[in-house]
């Protein structure tokens, strides 16, 4: 069976790849590998999310990258807000190892953990995510509700979702679940959504 980026322990081999990427105005050398999300480049959806991050003026005390992959959003968060406590979470062990390595390479401080290793009582002022929509609608809904409930009273989750992958129906569903959601941007087939507590 082929690995997915949401596979806990990818069995696929393949050559690790080094390249340079620009994150919130910083040019960084990073390492990726097969078996993680967008292992060959910085994907277009994440680029749209990072553009919103560059414009954000909020200064969260604690911020989470939900589904960190090889770490571009988590590293951008640490660069944008060096005084914030940054958490990077993924179910994929290879992704976690790459994120930790890429962060260490650039002296970026963050906590890189599997979801179950995040303390149950830990709350986040901000969550940024390119969520794993391909895990299926039911699993995605459960994932989002679980982590939205970890927002502080004034916290917000900002996520990017492809229009053709159900961004508009997800927007409506979040509203129906009692989570006020606005569309911050729409570009190149992607929606950037911001969800807050009621």
For residue 94, the 8-state DSSP code is H
- In this prediction, residue 15 has a pLDDT band, given cuts at 50, 70 and 90, of confident
pLDDT of residue 5: 46
- Contact assessment for residue 192 and residue 185, using Cβ atoms and an 8 Å cutoff: yes
pLDDT in tens, 56-80: 988 999 999 999 999 999 999 999 9
Q: Which residues contact 6 (CB under 8 A, 6 or more apart)?
A: 91, 92, 132, 134, 135
Q: What SS3 state is found at 191?
A: strand
Does the pLDDT value for residue 3 go beyond 80? no
Q: Return the higher-pLDDT residue of 8 and 179.
A: 179
Task: From residue 31, give the alpha-carbon distance in Å to each of 37, 45, 72.
Answer: 13, 19, 11
pLDDT of residue 58: 83
pLDDT of residue 77: 98
- Number of structural domains found in the chain: 1
Tell which residue, 124, 114, 142, has the closest CA to residue 62.
124
CA distance 11 to 9: 6
- Contact assessment for residue 75 and residue 28, using Cβ atoms and an 8 Å cutoff: yes
pLDDT in tens, 37-61: 888 889 999 999 999 999 998 899 9
- Distance separating the N- and C-terminal Cα atoms of the chain: 42
pLDDT of residue 9: 56
Structure tokens at 27: 């040019």
In a domain, 75, yes or no: yes
DSSP H helices in the chain: 44-55, 72-80, 93-105, 137-148, 167-176
Domain that holds residue 190: 44-196
In a domain, 26, yes or no: no
Does the pLDDT value for residue 163 go beyond 60? yes
In a domain, 156, yes or no: yes
The CATH number given to whatever domain includes residue 119 is 3.40.50.150
- Contact assessment for residue 19 and residue 7, using Cβ atoms and an 8 Å cutoff: no
Q: Alpha-carbon dihedral of residues 44, 162, 122, 39, nearest 10 degrees?
A: -40
pLDDT in tens, 87-146: 999 999 999 999 999 999 999 999 999 999 999 999 999 999 999 998 999 999 999 999
Q: Return the higher-pLDDT residue of 192 and 39.
A: 192
Phi-psi group of 28: left, alpha or beta (phi > 0 → left; psi -120 to 50 → alpha; rest → beta): beta
In a domain, 16, yes or no: no
In a domain, 3, yes or no: no
In a domain, 22, yes or no: no
Does the pLDDT value for residue 10 go beyond 90? no
Dihedral sign, Cα of residue 39, residue 88, residue 27, residue 25: positive
In a domain, 19, yes or no: no
In a domain, 8, yes or no: no
Task: Please state the pTM of the whole predicted model.
Answer: 0.92
């Amino acid at each position: 069976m082929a690995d997915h980026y949401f596979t806990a322990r990818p069995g696929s081999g393949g050559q690790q790849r080094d390249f340079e990427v620009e994150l919130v105005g910083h040019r960084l050398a990073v390492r990726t590998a097969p078996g993680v999300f967008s292992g060959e480049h910085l994907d277009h959806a994440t680029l749209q999310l990072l553009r919103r991050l560059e414009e954000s003026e909020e200064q969260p005390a604690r911020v989470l990258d939900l589904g960190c992959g090889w770490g571009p959003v988590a590293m951008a968060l640490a660069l944008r807000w060096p005084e914030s406590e940054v958490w990077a979470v993924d179910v994929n062990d290879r992704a976690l190892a790459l994120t930790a390595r890429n962060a260490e390479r650039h002296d970026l401080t963050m906590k890189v953990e599997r979801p179950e290793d995040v303390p149950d009582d830990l709350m986040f002022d901000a969550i940024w995510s390119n969520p794993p929509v391909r895990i299926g609608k039911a699993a995605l809904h459960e994932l989002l509700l679980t982590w939205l409930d970890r927002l502080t009273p004034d916290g917000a989750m900002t996520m990017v979702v492809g229009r053709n992958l159900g961004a508009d129906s997800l927007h409506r569903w979040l509203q129906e679940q009692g989570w006020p959601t606005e569309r911050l941007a729409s570009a190149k087939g992607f929606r950037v959504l911001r969800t807050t507590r009621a």
